[in-house]
Amino acid sequence: MSQPDLSAEDLVAVEEVLRSGRLALGPKTLEFERAMARYVGAPHAVALSSGTAALHLALDALGVGAEDEVLVPSFTFSASVSVIFQVGATPVFVDIVPDVYTLDPADLEAKLSSRSRAVMVVDVFGHPAEWDEIIAIAEKADLRVVDDSCEALGAEYAGKKLGTFGDASAFAFYPNKQITTGEGGMLVTHDGALADRVRSLRNQGRDAMGTWLEHPRLGYNYRLDEMSAALGASQMQRLETFLEHRARVARLYGDRLASVDGVEPPEVRPGVRMSWFVYVVRLAEGLDRDPIMAALEQRGIPSRAYFSPIHVQPYVRDRLGDLAGTLPVTESIAHRTIALPFHNHLTEAEVDRVVGALDDAIRETTV
C-alpha cells in the first residue's frame, strides 16, 4: 500500500546520532523543530512521539476537559476522537462535505451548544478543510481550534500552509506519511505560552529551567528521540520533491481512472494545494465495495476501506450509544471509498496494473 522514501543521507543522519551517544533531548530535536517551523510559517514547533500525542497535548494545553464538548468529524482516523475522550471531554460528531470529505461548516454551526469548547478540524487525505468558514464560526462561538493536519504536511489553503490556522496544529510522520521519522509527530502554534506548556507536558511535566526530578504539573512521556528527529530533519530537506512525486502518481491515477466506469477519482477544490497522503477513490452508488476489494486481492493488488466512521466504532458506541444513521453523508461516503496503493515511487506500469485490476474487478462483480 505504501513505502517510505529513504536515502543514503537519511542513513548517515541517523548513524551520526548513534555515534554521538546523545540519543534523547539533543540538538537534532531542535533542528527538526526549527525546520518544521520555518516550512510551515509558524514561530513555534514542538517535536513529539506521534501525531496522536500532538493532538492530545493540544487539547490538554488548551484546557479542554470534563464537561466540555469538542466538535469533530467522524470520517477520520481514530486518534482525532480518542484524544477527546482521553482529556475527559465529549466528542460531538459533525458531518462532512460530499466532494472532498472535510468537515461541513454548516453542520458544525448547527451542532454548537452551550458546552461547545473546541473544534477538531481534519484535513483528510491531505485536502485542506474550509478554513475561512470554520474560523469565522469558531470566532463567533469562542471555540478553540485544533487542526488535525496529520495527513496534510505541505498542503495550502488560500496561499497559506496548513499549520497556520487555529490555536494549534498537529502533524504526523508514520512511514506512510509525506515524510517519516518511523514514529513521531509535531505540534505547531503561534502561541508561545501554549508551546511552552506542551514542551513541559511532553517531558513528564518538567519546566525548562527546573531540575530533572521536579514536576510542576502532571505530564507525559511524549518526547521524540534523537534518531527519529535526525531522520525527520533529513527528510525535510526533500519534502517538496516528495510532494512532487506524490502529485505525479496522483495525476497518473486520475488520467487512467477517467476511462473506468463506476469510479470517481478524488476531487481537489480550486484555491488549495493538495498534499497527497493516500489515493482514495469513490465507487458509484449501488456498487458493493467488499467483493471489489476481494477481487483486487485475488489479483495481487492491496487496497483498504478508508475510513470506517468513528461514530459507529465499538469504543464510541460503548460510551455514547448507537449513533448509526446520524451522519448521512459520512456513512454514504464511507461505504464507497477505497484506498489504492500509493507512494512516491509508484511507476506508470504499476498504476496501469492497479487501474486495470480495478476495472476488471468492477466488471466481474457487476455481471
d(CA 364, CA 297): 13
Instruction: Judge whether 111 counts as a catalytic residue.
Output: no
Q: How far is CA 25 from the centre of its chain?
A: 25
- Does the CA dihedral 357-309-175-169 come out positive or negative? positive
- In the numeric block, which cell numbers belong to residue 9? 543521507
- Does the CA dihedral 44-49-50-55 come out positive or negative? negative
d(CA 111, CA 274): 28
Kindly report the number of other CB atoms within 10 A of residue 9's CB atom: 11
d(CA 328, CA 302): 28
Q: What angle do CA 164, 167, 168 make, to 5 degrees?
A: 70
**What letters, b where the CB count within 10 A reaches 16 and e where it falls short, cover 23-53?**
eeebebbebbbebbbebbebebbbbbbbbbb
Which residues are paired to 72 by β-bridges? 93
Q: What angle do CA 240, 243, 246 make, to 5 degrees?
A: 155
Residue of 111, 140, 161, 177 marked catalytic: 177
Whether 37 contacts 44, CB under 8 Å: yes
**DSSP label at residue 126:** G
d(CA 277, CA 153): 9
Give the H or E element holding residue 39.
helix 27-40
Q: What is the DSSP string of 325-340?
A: TS-HHHHHHHTTEEEE
Residues catalogued as catalytic: 177
